[in-house]
Amino acid sequence: MNNIEMKYNFNLEYFEKSADYVKSKIDFKPQTALILGSALGSLASDIKNPVEIPYEDIPDFLVSTVKSHAGKLILGELYGRKVVCMSGRFHDYEGYDYEQLVAPVRLFKLLGVENMILTNAAGGINTGYKPGDLMIIRDHINLAGASPLRGPNDDRIGPRFFDVCNAYDEGLRTLAKSLAKECSLRIQEGVYAYQTGPHFETPAEIRFLRMAGADAAGMSTVTEALTAAHCGLKTLAISLISNMAAGVNNNRVDGEEVDYVAAQSAKEFKKYLSSILAHMESQEDE
């Protein structure tokens, strides 16, 4: 074993240990995985017949450090679909190594899920956006310059080099857009700029990002979407625009405002996600 393999030996068997434990607690196969961002965790309380598994009970899994993120896996039925839901996600700014951030999506893949929905709160860069809008992520700009797929590659999980043109699955985006009129929130589609945080961006960074074609900025989602693209899991990602990003208006960016706007929009966002989940099922039934 070389030095890098000694640090993280993230081969298929490593993740199978987590997956086997979760499988031993359930008697169904989840179809869709959900990772819910800031203040949208309340969706998890709608899950029927929930089986809750604290992250710390799952062998070789990570433990969440953010107060507002609960830190458990919830499995059950949500709007007619069998789901595995992460209540609380892992961010680079908590101090994990990039390589560790693959754990949740690898677990989902081994549980046999067909697709994944990611949500987050993000700052609006596009001046046509307003707090309270939703943005279906079409593509991203990864300012971290690092990938969770760095390090030794296990070809049984995915190829060393892989395409990410469809990291945000076109079919799922089309489905989400077709349901937009049922939602009272404005639905945008745009490019998500990822930087690691925990600081918000500077006004100069936001001007730079707007020129580069970004529509919203945030601190999550991209590591998960890249991990999913690597192992061939379809992803739909939706940002709630919780504030305008730094320098877009005269307001300072404020973490409490982010949580407040997210909470205000949670009910409508939930409704929208429920119709997406319901229609995913009917697509497969056809």
Q: What is the DSSP string of 229-277?
A: HHHT-EEEEEEEEEEEPTTSSSSPP-HHHHHHHHHHHHHHHHHHHHHHH
| Pick from 211, 97, 195: nearest CA to 142 | 195
Give the integer Cα–Cα distance in Å for 258 and 165.
Answer: 30
Length of the chain: 286
Burial 249-285 (b: 16+ CB within 10 A, else e): eeeebeeeebeebbeebbeebbebbbbbbebbeeeee
Contact between 133 and ligand HPA per CB under 6 A: no
Select 118 or 122, whichever has its Cβ closest to ligand HPA.
122
Question: Minimal distance in Å, beta carbon 200 to ligand HPA?
Answer: 5
188 belongs to the binding site for ligand HPA (CB under 6 A): no
Nearer to ligand HPA, 44 or 135 (CB): 135
Using CB under 6 A as the binding rule, whether residue 223 contacts ligand HPA is answered as no
Taking contact as CB under 6 A, which single stretch among the options 23-31, 136-144, 169-177, 214-222 is the one that binds ligand HPA? Answer: 214-222
Contacting range for ligand HPA; rule: CB under 6 A; set: 99-107, 180-188, 215-223, 272-280: 215-223
Mark the segment that binds ligand HPA (CB under 6 A) among 7-15, 93-101, 110-118, 213-221. Answer: 213-221
Which residue from 50, 71, 123, 132 is in contact with ligand HPA, where contact means CB under 6 A? 123
Residue burial 27-52, b: 16+ Cβ < 10 Å; e: rest = eeebbbbbbbbbbbbebbeebeebeb
Of the two residues 73 and 214, which places its CB atom closer to ligand HPA in the complex? 214
Distance CA 181, CA 18 (A): 40
**Closest residue by Cα to residue 9 from 105, 149, 151, 108:** 151
Q: Shortest approach of ligand HPA to residue 246 CB, angstroms?
A: 6
CB of 69 to ligand HPA, least distance (A): 13
- Binders in 232-261 for ligand HPA, by CB under 6 A: 242-243, 245, 253, 258
Our CB check for ligand HPA shows the closer of 64 and 195 to be 195
Shortest reach from residue 213's CB to ligand HPA, in Å: 17
Alpha-carbon torsion (184, 166, 15, 111), positive or negative: positive
Bridge-partner residues for 134, per DSSP?
A: 187, 240
Q: How far apart are CA 101 and CA 177, in angstroms?
A: 29
Q: Does 219 bind ligand HPA (CB under 6 A)?
A: yes
Can you tell me which of 217, 225, 229, 233 binds ligand HPA, judged by CB under 6 A? 217
Identify which of residues 226 and 253 has a Cβ nearer to ligand HPA in the complex.
Answer: 253
Q: Which is nearer to ligand HPA, 30 or 123 (CB)?
A: 123
Residue 197 tokens read as 């945080």
Site for ligand HPA in 10-39 (CB under 6 A): none
Which residues of the chain form contacts with ligand HPA (CB under 6 A)? 121-123, 200-201, 217-219, 242-243, 245, 253, 258
